[in-house]
Amino acid sequence: MIDELARAEGVVATCTEAAAWALSEHDLIAALDVTHRLQQRLAAVRLALVREVDGRGVAVARGASSTAVWLRHRLRLDMSDARRLVGLAASLDATPPAVRDALAGGAVSVEQARVIVDTAATVSAVAGAEVADKAVGVLVEWAGQFDPILLRRMGTRILDHVAPDLADAATAAALAAEEARAARDRHVTISERAGGRLRLSGTLDAEAAALLRAVIDPLSAPSGPDDARCPGQRRHDALVDVCRLALRTGELPESGGEPAQIVVTTGYDGLTRQLGAGALDTGLRLTPDTVRQLACDAAILPAVLGGASRPLDVGRQRRLIAGPLRRALVLRDGGCAFPGCDRPPRWCAAHHIRHWADGGPTTLDNAVLLCGHHHRHVHQSDWAVRLGGDGHPEFVPPAWLDPARVPRRNHYHRRT
Ligand SMILES: [Zn+2]
Ligand SMILES: [Zn+2]
């Protein structure tokens, strides 16, 4: 077998060198079809090998705690991928051979095989092995037309086709099993990326999915005609808004004996009233601009260093806009005060018009409510904010946007 695989590898290598641009359209599509089929056939071989490795206890004999853990290191797989691989290999072994044959013949894809195996297990539990056999036959045929998601949905009705008499009772059982699978497979992975970024991936069960959509969808709507963010960026910012809100409630469980909070450490020059670059307690470095923006928000605690890097807390209590002051601010602004924004107060941070580091006081006259997006926008763009003669905030557009720089106001939360 090893010789055959080596030969196959050599043949594939010559295909990699062959020029795809030279193919006619007909051959191009034919080549794509064959490549896909080969990939599934090869997956069948790999699954059989994984099954054998697992069955022989190779991983444990070599000191790993499980086959999945061993595969993860050996093939440098994601842990969840490694687990799914071992799981599918085992289930393929326990289902009618028709699934394996279909995979080995390139007739179904790995994901389709997974659906068929899951469905066959459900059918077998409610209707016995013989009906499961029939179900596999039908599903393999359907796999020629439907993608894995559709196939799974149709799999919940498979008994209507192979055992109509059992169908009603079994539909309920199949749905329950599907729900149990969703509950079993629920997970979120947070992995570190360079520069302090995180990669977020995972699968939510149906209830969590509904909850997330209910919260994220309205929050990720564009915040006005000026909103140039793409949908992905808006969803990202919405998630941040939710975290900010959770921090602001003060009801999160303590971590290490301290209430949950973000600590920003930064240098501060009292003479020039300049904030230096900062660092989060994860060690991530921040620009002075980001430090100023974070320091505006009451839920974030800046730890300011004096000249000799001794902690020097510049009137933190006065700086935090909370309690009665925040309530007064909510009464005055009614929500994000940026022109055209409809975000309600709950999603807003209090921005210091004149930053506290520049000597700006923490008073109603020096504060304005801004949603997360517009808070960032005000800190990073040339918009200026001030209070008008009537004590309400107005925003002066940058000259490139309006050469006359006529102040604009939010007419959504307040009538003029
Ligand atoms: Zn601010
Ligand atoms: Zn806003």
Distance 59 CA to ligand 2 centre (A): 55
Distance 223 CA to ligand 2 centre (A): 6
Check residue 48 and give its pLDDT: 93
How do 300-305 and 262-269 pair as beta strands?
A: parallel
Distance 367 CA to ligand 1 centre (A): 9
Distance between CA atoms of residues 251 and 320, nearest Å:
18
Distance 331 CA to ligand 2 centre (A): 16
Residue pair 416/408 in contact (Cβ under 8 Å)? The answer is no
Residue pair 236/214 in contact (Cβ under 8 Å)? The answer is no
pLDDT at 313 over 60: no
Q: What is the mean pLDDT of residues 109-119?
A: 93
Q: What confidence tier does 83 reach under pLDDT thresholds 50, 70, 90?
A: very high
Overall residue count recorded for the chain in this entry: 416
The helix (H) or strand (E) run that includes residue 300 is strand 300-305
70: three-class secondary structure by DSSP: helix
Check residue 70 and give its pLDDT: 94
Distance 369 CA to ligand 2 centre (A): 8
Of 327 and 254, the one with more pLDDT? 327
Q: What is the mean pLDDT of residues 234-261?
A: 77
pLDDT at 319 over 60: no
Q: Find the ligand nearest to 368 CA.
A: 1
- The torsion defined by the Cα of 89, 93, 96 and 101, in degrees rounded to 10, comes to 60
Residue pair 333/341 in contact (Cβ under 8 Å)? The answer is no
Distance 336 CA to ligand 2 centre (A): 5
Distance 265 CA to ligand 2 centre (A): 27
Q: What confidence tier does 317 reach under pLDDT thresholds 50, 70, 90?
A: very low
Rounded percentage of the chain residues whose pLDDT exceeds 90: 30
